[in-house]
Structure 1
């Protein structure tokens, strides 16, 4: 058995994908599937702010794709929103300030539906939480998991819509977040009666540090694939 570390990459069936938006843009991405079994759930990852270096490879999303297919049988779809670059490449278009990205979210949902990816959950981080709240209330979506939600672009009307809909909303809020801390988050999310606000002691907006990554990934799996929680901290290399 080997300890799962920050740089660990566990087995998965990985495929470079391209999403096509309704306005004709091609968005680069990757789909990571469980190595041997069909997925039990799917994460559609919405990355942090691209004008502040957010992208599909932002570390928590990358580590989700490196670990969760093997550890939890969860499919992980990551992509760069319009105008965003990563090692995978650069998506067409230009940053749309969270408005034009409505079409990017729709393209990811369309891909998930067409490819029969089961039980899609939105996993947004920072700017990605704004996209989830504003544009993710689609019939296909099971719920939303929000990492470090700033609630800058998402309005009270967006929160009210999720509240009226009733689907699960889980917000993981760092104790020392730069934009929205737990007490204020609880107040803002009162508009979403079913929302679960989880304060993470000691954490910051960027979730730096393996202990915080494990807290986040465990919290995700408890919601989308509870039979796999808690995640192991070791991996049998004979399984590779």
Structure 2
């Protein structure tokens, strides 16, 4: 069986289905669930996307690549969805953006969906604005922990950090060396309030996790923390694979976190 390199736009086999989440305040949110093709998932990632008013959505590239790769490479289920008022090719979630406040209903709806679908060992994975949602609203007893990518700590306060400290569940914080909003030394100072937090500075990385090397580092760290002892993610695939998605799009167009902005566009967290 021929081996092929896993490239930025490679889509590996999985069972993927469109889903809907229903919030306690009466909204329907659109999303997708990707699970391993022929076996139960070992754990579940409930993903929270970057700021929708600056282009973030469920297809923001790190989250999309997690859904394209991790069911096949690590037996993980990956749940992605658009928060209220957010649009993507999957569709538009009802409601309007509320700056992270009413989005608490969205976070709870996603966690409840994963719980009622019997998806095992649920972890939150938030990116930028999504880290704020995880810190502010994600301390749910059915969640095993959270992984934060490029946390800006704009909306999450010391009170939220104290609540996560009391919650006691693992908090893994990946901070790009060249982040626009919060860099590793300051992140270590701020997250010292959460005794179980592990802050990992990523050399050479930027807020948008530009390039395949940065994406692989993120996915490697996610798998290493969610599945301790996992041998690590391969860079080649032996077996059937879907054709590369968006084959007419250059790979370096994947460098933004929106999935749609021009390469190199700067977006707020």
Instruction: Give the TM-score band, short-chain normalised.
Output: over 0.9
The aligned counterpart of 1:47 is 49
Report the secondary structure of 1:222's partner residue.
helix
The aligned counterpart of 1:223 is 225
The aligned counterpart of 2:237 is 235
The aligned counterpart of 2:194 is 192
Report the secondary structure of 1:226's partner residue.
coil
Give the alignment of 1:119-138 within 5 angstroms.
Answer: 119-138=121-140
The aligned counterpart of 1:92 is 94
TM-score, normalising length: structure 1: 0.98
> What is the CA–CA distance in structure 1 between the aligned matches of 2:68 and 2:216, rounded to whole Å?
13
How far apart are residue 229 of structure 1 and its match? Answer: 3.6
Question: Contact between 2:13 and 2:240, CA under 8 Å: does it hold in 1?
Answer: no
Question: Contact between 1:218 and 1:229, CA under 8 Å: does it hold in 2?
Answer: no
How far apart are residue 225 of structure 1 and its match? Answer: 1.8
Question: Contact between 1:221 and 1:229, CA under 8 Å: does it hold in 2?
Answer: no
5+ unaligned residues in a row in structure 2: which ranges? 243-269
Question: Contact between 2:124 and 2:146, CA under 8 Å: does it hold in 1?
Answer: yes
The aligned counterpart of 2:248 is none
Report the secondary structure of 1:96's partner residue.
coil
Alignment size in residue pairs: 240
Question: Contact between 1:74 and 1:225, CA under 8 Å: does it hold in 2?
Answer: no
1:23-62 C-alpha deviation (Å, 9 max, x unpaired) = 1100000000001110010000000000000000000000
> What is the CA–CA distance in structure 2 between the aligned matches of 1:227 and 1:88, rounded to whole Å?
35
Give the alignment of 1:1-240 within 5 angstroms.
Answer: 1-238=3-240
> What is the CA–CA distance in structure 1 between the aligned matches of 2:120 and 2:186, rounded to whole Å?
34
How far apart are residue 157 of structure 1 and its match? Answer: 0.7
5+ unaligned residues in a row in structure 1: which ranges? none
Report the secondary structure of 1:228's partner residue.
coil
Question: Contact between 2:12 and 2:241, CA under 8 Å: does it hold in 1?
Answer: no
Question: Contact between 1:145 and 1:220, CA under 8 Å: does it hold in 2?
Answer: yes
Q: CA RMSD in A?
A: 1.0
Q: Which has the higher helix share?
A: 1
Q: Between the two structures, name the one with larger relative contact order (CA 8 Å, sep ≥ 6).
A: 2
